[in-house]
Amino acid sequence: MNDTIWLGLGLATLAGFSTVLGSLLATAVRNPGPRFMVLTLGFSAGVMLLVSFSELLPHGVSTIGFLPAHLAFFSGMALMFIVDLVIPHQYLGGEKPAVHERLDGRYLRTGVFIALGIAIHNFPEGMATFAGTMESPRLGLAIAAAVAIHNIPEGLAVSGPIYAATGSRRKAFLWSFVSGMSEPLGAVLTALILLPFLSSTLLGIVLAGVAGVMVFISLDELVPVACSLCDNHLPIVGVLAGMVLMSVSLWLLG
């Protein structure tokens, strides 16, 4: 059990650090291009959708029954809907300040608000990674991979405006680090709160709820933002690629 706990915390930490990877990309490249963004976001959505409907929700159904599992699933979606209403974090696809506005600090404020919003949204993803790992390392690895992939463009979204406003790679890196580290924090709090009460029933409820969270993120955030960045079929190509690769990976992992 202890090894599984440490693995869950480690996977959540690695997923959070992928936000920093996006930050490094932003400061090194400055403009990685919309095709990269579209494929990355679509790919992550495909991975999340496949894992949710082929692994997480079915496990909940088999553990606690059809109706309770689906109630937990839709509760997860409702929770993310409320979080989005209270703390929206439209990034990437939103309007960017004009060049002449950089001097009045709007880029800096934009980057900081994006960082705070992403940090709050990353929290349940850390919970999801940890809960999935407690069910099986294979499942935890799949969730961590999906989260890590879509954290890269989030790191870009945080660092880009801050770097443009300050010219400081250090500040851009710091804010992306803060937003990414809410992921392992979510995993740590889940471990502290859930572990004393952990049972197959509770785990089934949590995993079904996590499936709802991941489906909401995919359909409300990742796919729409990907579609806003292009007018072709590239987003669905990314989604299909993510689904295919994750299905093959789960099959190979047994």
Q: What is the pLDDT of residue 33?
A: 67
pLDDT tens track for 57-91: 998 999 999 999 999 999 999 988 888 787 665 55
**Torsion angle, CA of 81/247/146/190, rounded to 10 degrees?**
70
Q: What pLDDT digit, counting tens, does each position of 17-65 carry? A: 888 888 887 677 655 567 877 887 788 788 889 889 998 899 899 999 9
pLDDT above 50: residue 183: yes
If you count them, how many residues does the chain have?
Answer: 254
User: At CA 146, angle to CA 243 and CA 48, rounded to 5?
Assistant: 50
Distance between CA atoms of 161 and 152, rounded to whole angstroms? 15
Measure the CA–CA gap between 80 and 217, rounded to whole angstroms. Answer: 8
Q: What is the pLDDT of residues 89-137, one digit of tens each?
A: 555 444 444 444 443 355 666 667 667 767 877 888 888 899 889 888 9
139: closest CA among 81, 57, 200? 57
Chain-centroid distance of CA 49 in Å reads 12
How does the average pLDDT of the chain come out, rounded?
Answer: 81
112-121 tens-digit pLDDT: 766 776 787 7
* Three-state SS letters, the chain: CHHHHHHHHHHHHHHHHHHHHHHHHHHHHCCCCHHHHHHHHHHHHHHHHHHHHHHHHHHHHHHHCHHHHHHHHHHHHHHHHHHHHHCCCCCCCCCCCCHHHHHHCHHHHHHHHHHHHHHHHHHHHHHHHHHHHHHCHHHHHHHHHHHHHHHHHHHHHHHHHHHHHHCCHHHHHHHHHHHHCHHHHHHHHHHHHHHHHCCHHHHHHHHHHHHHHHHHHHHHHHHHHHHHCCCCCHHHHHHHHHHHHHHHHHHHHC
pLDDT at 1 over 60: no
